[in-house]
Amino acid sequence: MEIVTFVIIGMIVAVLLYGVMIYNNLVSLKHAVTKAWSNIDVLLKQRHDELPKLVETCKRYMQYEQETLERVMKARSAVSSAMQKGDVGAVGSAESELRIGLGNLFAVAENYPDLKANESFTHLQTRITGLENSIADRREFYNESVNNNNVRIEQFPDVILANWFKFKAAELLEFEDSEISDVNVSALFS
């Protein structure tokens, strides 16, 4: 065989290996997005299980705040429904409503000293606040994973293999304007 044949075979092998490397990186990014979403899902399910306990504890003390309690439970149901459908946009919207409802619930709880002194309420409030912080961290990690995936499937030469193997862009978990705007604290106590 001639040296030209070896060079051509070597170039073909190098291109194939490079293609395999790109494909494997794209698969890795796709699975990182799935893993990040699963982490959010676990935390949302934990919070989903804790919220009814919190509402029941609050019901014993807050006879006049049924609207606030119902808003939290309605938002909880919306998050659960969106998660079951896998609708990232709806999850973001429902999450915003739930966070607002929880903020209102905790603000209203300030008017009930007996409730604030209740050990069960304090434990649940701490647990849910911890879950909220964890969810916020996981949302950031998820969005970073989605961004890495989406950028990579649009870059050349990755876009060639991404289109060929039908890699899809993932949807960012975006926040409602009300969730990222400044909180009107005085309105919470009205």
8-58 pLDDT per residue, tens: 999 999 999 999 999 999 999 999 999 999 999 899 889 888 888 888 888
User: What is the number of domains present in the chain?
Assistant: 1
Other beta carbons within 10 Å of 157: 11
CATH, residue 52: 1.20.1440.20
Low-confidence spans in the chain with pLDDT less than 70: 1, 63-64, 175-190
Structural domain of 112: 3-188
Tell the burial category of 170 from Cβ atoms under 10 Å away from its Cβ (0-12, 13-18, 19+): buried
Q: What b-and-e string marks burial along 173-190, b requiring 16 or more CB atoms within 10 Å of the CB?
A: bebeeebeeeeeeeeeee
| pLDDT at residue 185, as a whole number | 42
| pLDDT at residue 177, as a whole number | 55
Q: Are 35 and 138 in contact (CB under 8 A)?
A: no
| pLDDT at residue 1, as a whole number | 67
Nearest to 88 by CA among 151, 180, 32, 172: 172
DSSP string spanning 86-130? T-HHHHHHHHHHHHHHHHHHHHHHTT-HHHHH-HHHHHHHHHHHH
| pLDDT at residue 10, as a whole number | 94
Q: How many residues does the chain have?
A: 190
Mean pLDDT, all residues of the chain: 85
